[in-house]
Amino acid sequence: MSKTSPQSDSTPKKTNRQAGPSRRAILAAGGATAVGLAGLGLARQEWLPTAETFIACHQRYDGPLAQTMRDGLRSCEVQPAWFRGKRVLLKPNLVEPTRQIPHMTTHPAVILAAAEVFRGWGASVSVGEAPGHLRDTQMALAESGVGEALRAGNLSFADLNYERVDARSNRGRRSTLKEIFFPQSVLEADYIVSLPKMKTHHWVGMTCSMKNFYGVLPGIKYGWPKNVLHQHGIPQTVVDIMATLPPSLAIVDGIDCMEGDGPIMGSLKPMGLILVGRNLPAVDATVARIMGLEPARVSYLKLAADWLGPIDERRISQRGERWQSVASPFEILDVEHLRGLRA
């Protein structure tokens, strides 16, 4: 199941991404707009970004997840033609799996369903992860059940902790990191699909599609559990990684979730949800509202707001279920730095 990446120099690989959203274009336009608005004092609501987020309820791991995902992606104006002949990297959350706590990690059925969707749309699909707390990735695959699922689905796996890396300039610049080192499988992907587990987090309140991208950075450069990133600020580095990655989408495993002392030691909270979107800040803001948190008080979402995407409810078009109809406040730790997060 291991994947060997071809050797390459540090020159960015040129790929044709005109069919889908271009992060470079979005960032350039967003930066120019921000400068223009600041200079002219014309920050009108209609000029700020908008996005769509899809919510499906009553979901089960043994249900028609692939069809739910297709419906959700199409409702968020994702076009199947974008993926024909492209390389799609699926990024689940396998932070520190154990068979005793299956609600800690992305369920194998969600990974297989996502692979079915993008393969059906003509993409070459692989799975990659750099577990943040385990140096032994094979153990993570075995304990999570993902290894068995990948064999059954004939899916290749990239151990992002140990692949050859290349540096890219930090396009987010919210932290003091001048560059970010990415594994080859990440740099060669045309699209990266975040497949997070919907969970609380003891430092930033919640973890979802954006925070899940900590797991694309290699332990051989950033340590276990990515302490280099923590030292440069979790909110800042979450935004920096997001801004520097190839185009991304989110499909959230919100079926069996985690509340309390997440992202590892929390309790099971069944929700039965799948969330989908092509703008990750908008997806995470919607997840925050479902969890009973105010998105503007979640530090990394506040940093990303109106730059990488909208978090204001008025600029997020709800598809499928309304978040209010599925909202159920999650327990969070009763500690000082989390007490102000409640909506």
Q: What is the pLDDT of residue 13?
A: 37
In this prediction, residue 46 has a pLDDT band, given cuts at 50, 70 and 90, of: low
Domain 52-338 architecture: 3-Layer(aba) Sandwich (3.40)
Mean pLDDT calculated for residue range 13-18: 35
- List the domain boundaries for the chain: 52-338
Q: What is the pLDDT of residue 20?
A: 58
Q: What is the pLDDT of residue 45?
A: 57
Q: What is the pLDDT of residue 97?
A: 83
Nearest to 20 by CA among 121, 112, 165, 136: 121
SS3 306: coil
Q: What is the pLDDT of residue 95?
A: 86
pTM for this one? 0.87
Residue whose pair of structure tokens reads 């369920």 in the numeric block: 107
| DSSP string of 275-292, one letter each residue | EEES-HHHHHHHHHHHHT
- Whether residue 288 has pLDDT greater than 60: yes
In this prediction, residue 279 has a pLDDT band, given cuts at 50, 70 and 90, of: very high
